[in-house]
Chains A and B, each alone.
Chain A
Amino acid sequence: MRKEIRSNKKIYAKLAIGILLASTLIIWAIITGIKNNNIIAGSFMGIVALTIIGFLIVYAKRSFTSVRQGLPIEDERSKKVLLHAFTKAYLISIYFILALSWASDDWIHFEDVSQGLNISILGMAIIFGLCWVYYNNKGDLDKVRI
């Protein structure tokens, strides 16, 4: 029972952080889209916020089901999935940032440095999400090449 309460607390803490992040992005998207009249950037941020909310719903559903069934939230496999997802996301992110840096010369005109850095953070978050989905659905993680 005590273990279940501790697990629930962990889930709620993670959900709270996720909701804060998603709501910040939504507010930012509204400010960028409506006040600054930059609809493309606003809708892009809105899509990212919705993606985060989607991930949160899936995470909450899976975690609460595991707790109800008396299973641990994180087992050996989920730790391995995280390790693989983070490492692959890091490798892909380097190329993404390099491409962004290269494109910022001619193709993309950032208003200031912070805009470029914000897009790189959002890109890295999306890349991580995709990597996590890929490795979570992959069979044998021991045979994955690094």
Chain B
Amino acid sequence: MKLTTILGIGVILSLITTMVFFVKSASNVNIVEYILVGLVLILIFVSTIIMRKRAKDIRADLPVKDELTRLNTLKSGYFTFIAIIWITVGLIWYNSFFVDNFGVYQLSTEQALGFIVLISGVIFFGLYFYFNKRPK
């Protein structure tokens, strides 16, 4: 348990360090990159909360995953998958319709795909907490 906690803290610290170096070294960081960094920070924060809760459960000799948590994880994954399909469709519209007609910032392929991965993580954790708060 101790080793897992130390490893988790190590991963979180290295992620934060990477983020700091990325923002400091990037010459022209635009709004999209700030959003991506913000999403990463949200994910780090949420992962820390989950890790703390799991460590507490282990210390109290409680099961980390019970039947309800399993079901909530499955439900969160179900809705997140549907959400990322629609987010991807939305990004296609954004890059074709909104960029052409309103002259908004055009995303690069890496930015768009990175956004999908990060926002899906945020949605997944959001739904996970929502279902755990309201089990019915």
Contact = CB atoms under 8 A, between A and B. Distances in A.
Contacts of A121: 85, 88-89
A97 B82 contact: no
Nearest to B67: A142
Contacts of A51: none
A69 interface: no
Contacts of B85: 121, 124
B96 A90 contact: no
B77 interface: yes
A128 B78 CA distance: 11
Nearest to A116: B109
A87 B113 contact: no
B40 interface: no
B28 to A, nearest CB: 19
Interface in A65-86: 82-84, 86
Contact of A90 (B70, B95, B120): B120
A89 B81 CA distance: 7
Contacts of A105: 110
B42 to A, nearest CB: 16
A120 interface: yes
Contacts of B120: 90, 94
Contacts of B70: 146
B68 to A, nearest CB: 13
Interface in B117-131: 117, 120-121, 124
Interface of B: 65, 70, 73-78, 80-82, 84-85, 88-89, 91-92, 95-96, 106-110, 112-114, 116-117, 120-121, 124
Closest 9 CB pairs of A and B: A87-B77, A101-B113, A90-B81, A86-B78, A116-B109, A83-B74, A86-B81, A104-B109, A113-B95
26 contacts: A84-B74, A86-B78, A86-B81, A87-B73, A87-B76, A87-B78, A90-B81, A90-B84, A90-B120, A93-B84, A97-B116, A98-B117, A100-B113, A104-B110, A104-B113, A113-B109, A113-B112, A114-B92, A116-B109, A116-B113, A117-B91, A118-B92, A120-B88, A121-B88, A124-B84, A146-B73
